[in-house]
Amino acid sequence: MEREKVGYNTFMTPNVTVRWHNPALLDHLIRIRQPWNRLTRRIVGAVLARYLPNPRGMLIEIGAGGGQLREWLTPELTAIATHTEPSEPFVEAFRQRYPDATVLQADAEKLPVASESVSGVLALCVFDTLSNLAAVRTELHRVLTPGGVVIHFLDLATSPDSLFPELIAGGELPLTNFARDPGLLSVLTNSQKSLLPVADDFDEILAIRWDAFTQFVGTLAMANQPIVAELGPYANLHRPGGFDPDRLAMEFMAASADPDRLRSLNKALLSLTLTAYQLGREWPLRAVSSRKHLRTKLRAAFTAEYGFSVEFAGAVWAWELASPAEPLPSGATFLLRHAGRTMPRSTMGVPALPVEAVEGFTPVPSPREGARATTVEVFVARRVVG
């Protein structure tokens, strides 16, 4: 299984502002997306064709980055699109890539357009990074015409920028998902496996109660147990002043993008967990899918109370036959890209709506061999009329 390395070792810094103003990140993301462009473009096109109002007025994109979403739009839509982006370096990169595009430097909380002047607000990998979703929702409601839509696409791994603070505020600590590490599972007994929480390959996080974790690690540290030093970013959380949420998110993603580092950290967390159970400690673990978490959060944010109606929230998938120019990896018969991971599968195996259903056609079953597929998380909310 390969996790898409969204540049975290190179581009992640504890300072979120610095992280999202590095133009080199844009080139990196282009390279990651390139092998899946045809399928992603088809999904984006199908969703926009189905949900954008007719007749179509002005479209505005928030958090446009370097213009990746524009690449997937039809000429009809690029002609009526205005792209906004808060980062000046990203705006300049966008303008260099698309000199004919209308690109404005603006924050999603304060868009430079009149009230009720926009028929659609588009976004790509934005809602999972926002620190104030409520303020952005209020602004989107202001600019949209009644019946206008917000359409958000997420084609990469979910950012930890908002998820981590929310879990921590709720008294939980996010851990890497060691419960699905195949190398570790292969050496566990059935009895040991039964102690682990139910999780799947695409649950990126195991969450544990903060107090349970820090108290146990603190006890082990006082006893000079060597396992504490192996816990990496979690080793000092029991100490006063030992917690920096931004650095924890950075270290989590850096470890997730490095197979050797991830295996070492997972091994330490698994050992800690088995020791906790052996000693009779309370150890409440649960699996968390960041995509499902974001989906639930968006459904709760865009309700009738705030003038919206959610029309779709879930994954859409598309497949194609592998070609000699883009063959499957050696030994793979079916390749799936989902939630920031690319892995061989025997079948699709994840809940997602076939793109043909969005297009209005009867879905065509994918073959069990020789195909590659991708999913895109899609969220659509319409401003209520009246």
- Of 48 and 6, more confident: 48
Residues 159-218: tens digit of each pLDDT: 887 888 899 999 999 999 999 998 999 999 999 999 999 998 889 899 999 999 999 999
Mean pLDDT of the chain: 91
Listed range (32-36, 92-96, 153-157, 328-332) with the worst mean pLDDT: 328-332
Q: What is the pLDDT of residue 245?
A: 80
For the record, the structure tokens of 205 come out as 């996080």
> What's the CA gap between 254 and 81, in Å, rounded?
35
Q: What percent of the chain has pLDDT over 70?
A: 95
Q: Mean pLDDT, to the nearest integer, of 302-328?
A: 94
Q: What is the pLDDT of residue 121?
A: 98
Q: How confident is the model at residue 20 (pLDDT cuts 50, 70, 90)?
A: low
| DSSP one-letter code for 84 | E
For the record, the structure tokens of 232 come out as 């990496």
Which segments of the chain belong to CATH 3.40.50.150? 2-157+291-383
- H/E stretch holding 316: strand 308-321
Q: Is the pLDDT of residue 32 over 50?
A: yes
Q: What is the pLDDT of residue 12?
A: 43
Q: What is the pLDDT of residue 7?
A: 42
Q: How confident is the model at residue 9 (pLDDT cuts 50, 70, 90)?
A: very low
Q: What is the pLDDT of residue 19?
A: 56
For the record, the structure tokens of 283 come out as 């150890």
State the first-to-last Cα distance of the chain, in angstroms, to the nearest integer: 49
Query: Which pTM was predicted?
Result: 0.90
Q: Is 257 exposed, middle or buried (0-12, 13-18, 19+ CB in 10 A)?
A: buried
> What's the CA gap between 368 and 227, in Å, rounded?
44
Q: How confident is the model at residue 2 (pLDDT cuts 50, 70, 90)?
A: very low
Q: Which of 6, 4, 13, 5 is nearest to 250 (CA)?
A: 13
3-state SS assignment for residue 362: coil
- Of 333 and 294, more confident: 294
Q: How confident is the model at residue 8 (pLDDT cuts 50, 70, 90)?
A: very low
Q: Is the pLDDT of residue 316 over 90?
A: yes
Q: What is the pLDDT of residue 367?
A: 81
Is CATH 3.40.190.10 the classification given to domain 2-157+291-383?
A: no
Listed range (137-146, 223-232, 259-268, 321-330) with the worst mean pLDDT: 321-330
Residues 234-257: tens digit of each pLDDT: 999 988 887 888 788 888 888 888
Q: Mean pLDDT, to the nearest integer, of 262-272?
A: 96
Q: Mean pLDDT, to the nearest integer, of 139-151?
A: 98
Q: How many CB atoms lie under 10 A from the CB of residue 220? A: 19
Q: Mean pLDDT, to the nearest integer, of 275-300?
A: 95
Whole-angstrom CA distances from 225 to 92, 229, 230, 272, 324 are 52, 8, 10, 11, 53
Helices in 105-208 by DSSP H: which ranges?
Answer: 133-143, 160-169, 182-185, 190-193
Q: What is the pLDDT of residue 3?
A: 45
